[in-house]
Structures are given as structure tokens and as C-alpha cells.
Structure 1
Amino acid sequence: MPAAGGKRVPRAERERQMLDAAVAVFARRGFRAASMDEIAEAAGVSKPLVYLYLESKDALFTACIRREADALATAVRDAVEADAPPERQLWSGLLGFFEHTAAHPDGWAVLYTQARTVGEPFAAEVAGLRARIVDFVAGLLAAACGAPDTRTVAPYAYALVGAAESLAAWASTAPDPLPARDLAASLMTFAWKGLAQAV
């Protein structure tokens, strides 16, 4: 579909536009209530073009989940200060998580609220993201605590990730949420004191 002025929009850019629109619609309406007509209109394209690029509503929702999951995992990894002491690495990873979820509320809603509640196969996509982040956090915790391997700290990694998810969900709906830096500091203080005694 030609853009204004007769120029063709590159495929990657067109797909990004469609996914941006779909994430916003799915976040606001939910998977079942969202329609392909609504998504096409929000993207400024025809419904047949959406189907041409992404085949079905299920495929579109899956593509949204995967894109948002990859973006979140990348944000957490990139935020970690590689050469910093282990405690600082954990702190910077938490900060990256909260900054990303605050900056991308629709993507977070798709991952945390929509995909997990619709059922399979979408919940499995989010479970895969969670497993990746838990493994990464377990590595940070093992380094921070001097644990011999990640198995020792795996329960704490699951607890920390779960707490971060809950805080981000609360912050996304609270009338006056704490800034990302304060959320990270609160969770870091809570986790670090517990880890110091437990490991």
C-alpha cells in the first residue's frame, strides 16, 4: 500500500507499524475483544494487508508477544553494568526492568495481563520469557552472593522476578506510582537484606 506521496513503505517498517498498532489495541481491548479491523485502522492499512503480513489474529498476537518479550529481555541485559560489582549489576538490571515497563506500558500489559490470561499457546511464550529472565537473574545473584552455582540461588531468582513483575503491574495502574528508580531501590533493599541472611 503506497504511503503519502506515492512512496512505498519498506516491509520492515510496515510490519513495525502493524505491530505497534496491534500492541496498543491488544493492551487496551484484550485479545478476544480486539478485532483485525480495529488493528488495521490503527495501523493505517487495509485488513487484507494485515493478513498478508501476519496471516491470522493468533499469529499477530504471537508476534506482538515475541517482540515485546525480546525488547524487555534486551533492556534488562543491556542495563546491567558489566564491569560493576555484582551488587551494582543486580541493581542496574532491576532499574532497566522498571524503566522499560514504565516506558512501554502497552507492551507490558500485553505480556503481563493479556498473554498470560488468554491461555495457550500464548502463556507459553510469556513463560519462556520469564525463564530467560530468571536464569539471567540467577546468574547475577550467584555472582553477587558468591554461590557455587545458580541452583543454590534459583528460588531467590524466581522470587525476585515475581516481585519485580508484581511491582511493575502495581505501578502501571497506581494513580501516583513511584518512579522506576524508587521501585528498583525498594526491591533491591528488600532482596539484598534477605539474600545476605539466606545465602
Structure 2
Amino acid sequence: MSETVQQANRAARLPRTARRAQLLEAAQDVFAKNGYHAAAMDEIAERAGVSKPVLYQHFPGKLELYMALLEMHVDELIMRVSDAMESTTDNKLRVRNAVSAYFDFVDGESQAYRLVFESDLRGEPAVQAAIDRGTDACTAAITETITADAGLDQERARLLAVGLVGISQVAARSWLANNRAMAKEEAVGLISTLAWKGIGGGFPLQSS
């Protein structure tokens, strides 16, 4: 039996969930390297070691494949920020953890942040909706904490949360674009200190 046939047989035996994960991983590499428009389904199939018909069995087209990846990474970012809020009752540590969540996200080996923050497909309504969902959910998680612990009304708490999300995202991307010129922990410390001086100093924890 030829090596090609053996590989095909092994591919055919993969469970559907494992196959989907394999295809998403291959697509992640291609989309991160080429962007949406320059990415080709042929290249994704080749990278995954499957035929194009197998790829199309799981994803009807390139947009559906891209959206599956984007939604997965948006969910990951939301989880990181939500965990940062829920992991402690120390508000100073919460701020640091929230900033760290963005730095960790952009520092991931998969370059998932490119799909969420630098997508070349923002003109597609479904893509923009997914990105907005991520921003809104992260903002909401922080807003809820600030509202409860700083004694602010919803609108003022939300504006502070938007500021924290914005500074965290922009700073993390700048740090990465600058080739990680300083250690990540130091960068997180600088930005979280800046944020905490405003939130912690101006809006102290309210006693119950």
C-alpha cells in the first residue's frame, strides 16, 4: 500500500470533531499568514493533509471557515476577560488581570488576534458583528464589576470599562508590533498601573 493511500486511510478514520479541529488549525495558519482575501481553500486543504472535498464537507465555503475561527477566538477573548473579573475580589488585581488577558491573547502562538483585531474582512456584516460581540461582552464583564464595586451608575461604569478595554487592546498590540521590546510582565505592569491610578484612585471599592 502506498504512503499516500495510507495517509488517506488514516485521515478517513479521524472522528468528525477531531477532523474539524485539524481543519481549523490549518486554516488559522493560512488566514494569519495571508489574510482572508489571499487565503485559498486549496492551501488550507493541503496544509491539513486532506482533499478539498473533505474540507468542504465540514465548511461550505471560505467565509464559513473564517467565521468558525473568528467566533472561536472571540469566545476565547471573552472568557479570558471574564475570568480576570471573576478570579479575585481584589480590584487592583482584577485590573492587572484584565490587561494581562489582552497581552496574553495577542501573544498567542496562533496569532488569533489578527482575526479579531486586524481582520481584512470587517466590511462583511457577520465578521463585524462577531468582533463587536467580543468587544461588547468584554466591556460588559468589566462594567458589571465596576458598577458593583465602585458605586457608579451603569453609564459611567461602562465608559470606564470601554477605556480599560481600549487601552489594554491598543497597548498589547503596540507591544507586539514593537517586537516585545520589554518583558510582557513589565508591560502589563505599566499599563495596569496607569489604569489602576485612575480607577482605584478615583473610584474606590464601596463597602457593603
Q: Judge same fold: TM > 0.5, yes or no.
A: yes
Residue in structure 2 matched with residue 82 of structure 1 by the alignment: 87
Written as runs of structure 1 = structure 2, the 5 A alignment for 1:3-152 is 8-80=13-85, 82-114=87-119, 117-144=122-149, 146-152=150-156
**Cα pair distance change 1:121/1:7, threshold 3 Å:** closer
Cα contact 1:23–1:107 (8 A) shared by 2: yes
Instruction: Give the alignment's Cα RMSD to 1 decimal.
Output: 2.4
Residue in structure 2 matched with residue 180 of structure 1 by the alignment: 184
* Mapped partners of 1:160, 1:133: distance in 2: 10
* Mapped partners of 1:8, 1:192: distance in 2: 52
**Bigger Rg, which one:** 2
**Cα pair distance change 1:32/1:5, threshold 3 Å:** closer
* Mapped partners of 1:7, 1:20: distance in 2: 18
How many pairs are equivalent? 198
Shift of 1:61: 0.7
Structure 2: runs of 5+ lacking an equivalent: 1-5, 204-208
**Cα pair distance change 1:155/1:49, threshold 3 Å:** same
- Paired residue secondary structure (1:138): helix
**Cα pair distance change 1:196/1:96, threshold 3 Å:** closer
Cα contact 2:95–2:196 (8 A) shared by 1: no
Shift of 1:119: 3.5
Cα contact 2:36–2:121 (8 A) shared by 1: no
* Mapped partners of 1:70, 1:115: distance in 2: 19
**Cα pair distance change 1:49/1:5, threshold 3 Å:** closer
- Paired residue secondary structure (1:18): helix
Residue in structure 2 matched with residue 194 of structure 1 by the alignment: 198
Compute the TM-score of the two structures, normalised by the length of structure 2.
Answer: 0.83
Residues 1:165 and 2:193 are matched in the alignment: no
* Mapped partners of 2:193, 2:147: distance in 1: 17
Structure 1: runs of 5+ lacking an equivalent: none
